[in-house]
Structure 1
Amino acid sequence: MKRPPWWAWFSLMGLEIPCAAMAWAFAVSQSHLVVVSSPWLYQFLFVAVWCVNMLDRVLKVFRGDPAVHTDECLMFARRHCFVICLLIAVAAVTGLWIMFFQLGVVIFEFALLPGVFSILFLFFSTNPYRRGGISPGFGLGAFFASVAFATGAGIPAYFYGSLGGGWGSQLSTSTWYLAALVVLGMFSRERWNEEEREKEGEDSVARDMVALVWMGVIVIYVVFCLAAAAQEYTADAWIYYGLAMAGAFMFVLDRLKKNMPPLMLHTLSWVALIFPMVLSGLLAQASS
Structure 2
Amino acid sequence: MARRPLWIWPNLLSLDAPLVVLAWFWMFKQVWLVKYHQPSLPWFLALTVWCIYVADRLMDERLAELDTGRTTARHRFHRQLRNPMKIGLLIGGLGAFLLMAIQSRGLLLYGMPVLLPVAAYFAVSFYDAGRGVSWFKNILAGTAFAYGTAIGVHFRRERSIWDLALSPEVVVFAGLCMINMIAIDHWEASPGDEEEEETREFHKVILLILLLVLVGACYWLALRAEDFTLQTHKAFYLSVMVGAGCLAFLALLRHLFSSQSLRVLADVAMLVPLPFFYWLLVDYGIIEFGELGWNLNQPDSAVVEIAGGG
TM-score of the superposed pair, with normalisation by structure 1: 0.73
Distance 1:8 1:79, change over 3 A: farther
1:31-84, Cα deviation, whole Å (9 max, x unpaired): 24x6575376466245324312211202432554487743x5454434444543
The corresponding residue for 1:93 is 94
The corresponding residue for 2:216 is 219
Distance 1:208 1:280, change over 3 A: same
The corresponding residue for 2:124 is 124
In 2, distance between residues paired with 1:41 and 1:106? 13
Distance 1:45 1:129, change over 3 A: closer
1:117, CA displacement in angstroms? Answer: 2.2
1:130, CA displacement in angstroms? Answer: 8.9
In 1, distance between residues paired with 2:250 and 2:165? 36
1:88 counterpart letter in structure 2 = L
The corresponding residue for 2:258 is 261
The corresponding residue for 1:241 is 238
Does 1:38 pair with 2:37? yes
The corresponding residue for 1:111 is 111
Residue 50 of structure 1 aligns to a residue whose secondary structure is helix
CA contact (8 A) 1:113 1:146 kept: no
CA contact (8 A) 1:217 1:244 kept: yes
Q: Which runs of 5+ in 1 are unaligned?
A: 154-163
1:174, CA displacement in angstroms? Answer: 9.5
Residue 31 of structure 2 aligns to a residue whose secondary structure is coil
CA contact (8 A) 2:63 2:129 kept: no
Instruction: Give the stretch that moved more between structures: 242-251 or 34-43.
Output: 34-43
In 2, distance between residues paired with 1:175 and 1:244? 19
Distance 1:105 1:23, change over 3 A: same
Distance 1:129 1:16, change over 3 A: closer
Distance 1:173 1:30, change over 3 A: closer
1:209, CA displacement in angstroms? Answer: 0.6
The corresponding residue for 2:247 is 250
CA contact (8 A) 2:14 2:53 kept: yes
TM-score of the superposed pair, with normalisation by structure 2: 0.68
The corresponding residue for 2:201 is 204
How many residues are aligned here?
266
1:118-140, Cα deviation, whole Å (9 max, x unpaired): 21121111116896653384443
Instruction: Give the stretch that moved more between structures: 54-63 or 119-128.
Output: 54-63
1:96, CA displacement in angstroms? Answer: 0.9
Distance 1:3 1:222, change over 3 A: same
1:7-44, Cα deviation, whole Å (9 max, x unpaired): 33333333232212111110111124x65753764662
Instruction: Give the stretch that moved more between structures: 126-135 or 249-258.
Output: 126-135
In 2, distance between residues paired with 1:129 and 1:54? 16
Distance 1:102 1:12, change over 3 A: same
RMSD: 4.0
Q: Percent identity?
A: 17
In 1, distance between residues paired with 2:164 and 2:267? 30
1:281, CA displacement in angstroms? Answer: 3.9
The corresponding residue for 2:160 is 168
The corresponding residue for 2:306 is none
1:21 counterpart letter in structure 2 = V
Q: Which has the higher contact order (CA 8 A, sep 6+)?
A: 1
In 2, distance between residues paired with 1:22 and 1:243? 15
